[in-house]
A and B are shown apart, each in its own frame.
Chain A
């Protein structure tokens, strides 16, 4: 029988980056079929799609959409960091890219929010 690690062993940036990458990926994976279904409403005509879009005008939906944009940006930049670690020159855990991913996601989220309220 073995002992397991607790959060103290996980409190470093590269681990947070892993966790964010996995959770954002899972969130996006769950979201995608819904996204495709919603767009597929156009098969029934513009009115069907319009009806759905108006339904999602509620605040909670907009917040979720903002969250998804942030998750997408995070997952993408975190992924680029992983591609660099795996295919690029040996440069450690590339913690600058972790910070960069967070910054990019914040920027994307802000741009989306501003665009929404424009």
Chain B
């Protein structure tokens, strides 16, 4: 007799309820395995997202037992003690399309509003840019560039909940990596974009983003860097 796992899965949109299912418990089972089993064998109409299922793409991020996680990289054994339930819900702070799938548009819109893309001045006719790997700016940028835009941090941030305009940890973290990219030419307008109530100044160092980031990045520190840099630019009349 296989051991069973009780799973509560969110069904509906923002208005909805948890449906309970019983899933066979297996060794090395991930939360994504559980969701997949439910959709294939128990509830064909369940909507959810995944792609690589090996912890590279970030598509499978959901709220597991109240915390934002990559479901493909979360072993059931790690989050559920004996006899406990598994609770799977869509990411918080994002509009729910259906069941476990959220609308990521505002997440990426804010990325763009924070000027989270590179702009250089060289063309193919110029020589390569030279950036020493050990230079302070490069080291700082390296600390934050592994972000794959999974929105776990955005989902975990209370300031995102409290201030609808707040750009959020991921967008600000990306902006910080670009502020530290010495080849980039949009520095001043980017600093203007990330300043203010919608930007870095609303971060209260709650640290949930840093706690939950599956890549162990620290948007908290990136945002602290933005605060310093924006202040310096403002004082010098550059903003």
Contacts and interface: CB of A to CB of B under 8 A. Distances in A.
Is any CB of A less than 8 Å from a CB of B in the complex? yes
B161 interface: yes
A90 interface: yes
B210 A90 contact: no
Given A2-B94, A92-B221, A9 B207 contact: no
A92 B96 contact: no
A80 to B, nearest CB: 13
Interface centre among B14, B63, B206 (most CB of A within 10 A): B206
Nearest to A84: B224
B67 interface: yes
A14 B15 contact: no
Contact of A85 (B93, B158, B208, B224): B224
Contacts of B91: 3
B211 A14 contact: yes
A114 interface: no
A82 B205 contact: yes
A3 B161 CA distance: 9
A41 B86 CA distance: 60
A87 B232 CA distance: 12
A62 interface: no
3 A-B pairs with least C-beta separation:
A8-B66, A14-B207, A1-B14
B156 A2 contact: no
A24 B155 CA distance: 27
Interface residues of B, number: 37
B208 A86 contact: no
Interface in A29-86: 82, 85-86
Contacts, number: 90
A19 to B, nearest CB: 8
Contact of A12 (B63, B93, B211): B211
B161 A1 contact: no
A17 B68 CA distance: 20
Nearest to A15: B206
B143 interface: yes
B221 A2 contact: no
Interface in B193-238: 204-208, 210-212, 218, 220-221, 224, 227-228
B13 interface: yes
B174 to A, nearest CB: 17
Contacts of B218: 90, 92-93
28 contacts: A1-B13, A1-B15, A1-B96, A2-B14, A2-B95, A2-B96, A3-B90, A3-B91, A5-B66, A5-B161, A6-B66, A7-B66, A9-B67, A12-B211, A15-B206, A15-B207, A17-B205, A18-B204, A18-B206, A22-B204, A82-B205, A85-B220, A86-B224, A86-B228, A90-B143, A92-B221, A93-B207, A93-B211
